[in-house]
Amino acid sequence: MRFVDLIARKRDGLSLTAAELQSIVAGVVDGTLPDYQVAAFLMAVYFRGMSPAELATWADSMLRSGIVLDLSDIPGIKVDKHSTGGVGDKISLILAPLVAAAGVPVPMISGRGLGHTGGTLDKLEAIPGFNTQLDIETFRRLVRELRCGLIGQTAEIAPADRKLYALRDVTATVECIPLIASSIMSKKLAEGIDALVLDVKFGSGAFMAQLPRARELAQTMVAIGEAAGRKTVALLTDMNQPLGAMIGNSLEVIESCDVLRGGGPADIRELTLALSAEMLVLGGVSATIADARATLVKLLDNGAAFAQFEKIVAAQGGDARALSDYSRLPVATQVVDVVAESDGVVHGFECAEVGRAAMLLGAGRATRDDIVDPGVGLQMHVRIGSHVRRGDLLARAWVSDRSKTDEAFATLRDAIVLGDGPAVAGPLVLERIDASSLAP
């Protein structure tokens, strides 16, 4: 069958066989399929979608396009967490050592931030010396010895995704649920995990702002995971305001350490507990979510989770003293207050714009090649429902380049939506989706 005929079949809404889909992924990776035809195929998928059977094969072919880690010789059920990305989302820094301290191995392969969202690797690299580019053998040793390793994507994992994503990026086919779901799941399932917890965000700071689309993405990813024989649970979580107060890499390390020592903002602690409890049940160390939460609360409050993080940081070359002595973290020395220009009640946030304000200060990347400044960022002083008067502190900014502050602060002020009368935030965790929630 010629590739043009497969493109035509997908364009006309017909299904492709497993062998046909596998041959397309193989042709993408070995370069025998020209970009213009792959681009046309992706656009056909954008409009016609993929059936669950097609998607399971497609994601499986993508994950097998590179190395698939085999961690089966490491005792325990290996569980990871993936977030679709948000503003102030530092949950992985807390959850990984916490879940490892509870006895569940967490092999975590993370990405960098782009646009308004932050990335776990950038946050970890704010810790002086922390090495996220470990080879696979070292990663495997850390997962065995400390039940946790925290590394970045390598070129060997799911190379099909790299090629397909690059084409999607320039052909307006990124915003396509089957393509997003297979992209995320192919990378996660190649990690050698047995189970996965997904934090799928909705709201003004989420990749999928609309709740129905976020739900569909969650269901699609759970279906791919289950088809691959991995227990997969997704929580739909609110991203209509920043998570916690801190946005920016060193600042988020500080806030994560506060939570790991039993303190920190209530929303960060709550979301970490909700996601981690699912991991403990999937990992077989707790029978129920309530049992898991009790275990996790103890590990946060008695310092065991923090001690586990210190060990992981030291094992990956980082300065573990910086986790207690924050003066060892790179933090910008200029501190500027951003104050309200009018009175009102915070009714909401254009949360992606809050993330963009931090990015403009240098905390994130506008393009993949930008270099982040670990020391800059924002500490939010208002949340949905806060009453503010003209002159009140909205946020404190740590800056290193004053030329960027005017645009960043204007962006931040515009992103805080003031109104009259009271306002309350929606629930942090809205829904839970697992295999039993999927249509038969």
Interacting residues with ligand URA (CB under 6 A): 165, 174, 179-180, 183-184
Q: What's the min distance (Å) between Cβ of 346 and ligand URA?
A: 29
Nearer to ligand URA, 59 or 378 (CB): 59
Instruction: Catalogue the long-range contacts made by 400-404 (C-beta closer than 8 Å, 24 or more residues apart).
Output: 400/332, 400/333, 400/334, 400/362, 400/373, 400/375, 400/376, 401/361, 401/362, 402/334, 404/360, 404/361, 404/362
Q: What's the min distance (Å) between Cβ of 180 and ligand URA?
A: 4
66: which 2 tokens? 């590179």
| Three-class SS state of 140 | helix
363: which 2 tokens? 């905390």
Q: What's the min distance (Å) between Cβ of 439 and ligand URA?
A: 23
Closest residue by beta carbon to ligand URA: 183
d(CA 436, CA 440): 9
181: which 2 tokens? 């779901």
Nearer to ligand URA, 116 or 311 (CB): 116
Q: What's the min distance (Å) between Cβ of 387 and ligand URA?
A: 37
Residue 161 known to be catalytic: yes
Residue 5 known to be catalytic: no
Residue 187 known to be catalytic: yes
d(CA 437, CA 54): 20
| Catalytic member of 64, 140, 168, 311 | 168
d(CA 332, CA 108): 29
DSSP output for 223-290: HHHHHTT-EEEEEEEE-SS-SSSEESHHHHHHHHHHHHTT-S-HHHHHHHHHHHHHHHHHTTS-SSHH
Nearer to ligand URA, 174 or 339 (CB): 174
Q: Are 2 and 32 in contact (CB under 8 A)?
A: no
Backbone angles phi, psi at 335, to 5 degrees: -120, 125
Q: Are 281 and 292 in contact (CB under 8 A)?
A: yes
| Catalytic member of 187, 215, 230, 365 | 187
| Catalytic member of 161, 199, 258, 373 | 161
| Catalytic member of 183, 186, 250, 256 | 183
16: which 2 tokens? 């492709």
| Catalytic member of 10, 64, 81, 82 | 82
| Three-class SS state of 15 | coil
Q: What's the min distance (Å) between Cβ of 366 and ligand URA?
A: 17
Nearer to ligand URA, 85 or 192 (CB): 85
Q: What's the min distance (Å) between Cβ of 376 and ligand URA?
A: 25
Q: What's the min distance (Å) between Cβ of 314 and ligand URA?
A: 30
Q: Would you name the residues annotated as active-site residues?
A: 82, 161, 168, 183, 187
